[in-house]
Amino acid sequence: MNAYYYLAIAIGAEVIATVSMKAIKGFSTPLPLILVIAGYATAFWMLTLVVRTIPVGVAYAVWAGLGIVLVSIAALFIYGQKLDVPAMLGMGLIVLGVVVIQLFSKTAGH
């Protein structure tokens, strides 16, 4: 399987885990706790597969950058958390950085 499929799974699992953290409420709600544990376990497992092919710095930049943006979007819809213009601008720059890496870097592992 292509390393970028594993990376997509890692990002999705990390987003689910991170968004679920808010719902744990002091470990009194078991389903969100299970999602956090399983999500991070899956994310790191997939990342171990990703870094076999893609340089670790590139993999982490894509994982973290897209994770930040997707967690923010999920938090908007799930928890109603809104971002101000500077936050959105900063995230736009993160996405731009990931795009630059993917399009122009020779170390991106294409």
Whether 38 maps to a domain, the answer reads yes
Structural domain including 36 reads: 3-104
Does residue 93 belong to any structural domain of this protein?
A: yes
Render pLDDT for 49-105 as a digit per residue (tens, 0 to 9). 999 999 898 898 889 989 999 999 999 999 999 999 999 999 999 889 888 888 888
Asked whether residue 109 is assigned to any structural domain, the reply reads no
Check residue 3 and give its pLDDT.
93
pLDDT in tens, 15-65: 999 999 988 887 788 999 999 999 999 999 999 999 999 989 889 888 998
pTM of the model: 0.86
Give the number of domains in the chain.
1
Give, in order, the Cα–Cα distances in Å from 56 to each of 84, 101, 108: 31, 13, 10
What is Dmax (Cα atoms) for the chain?
A: 47
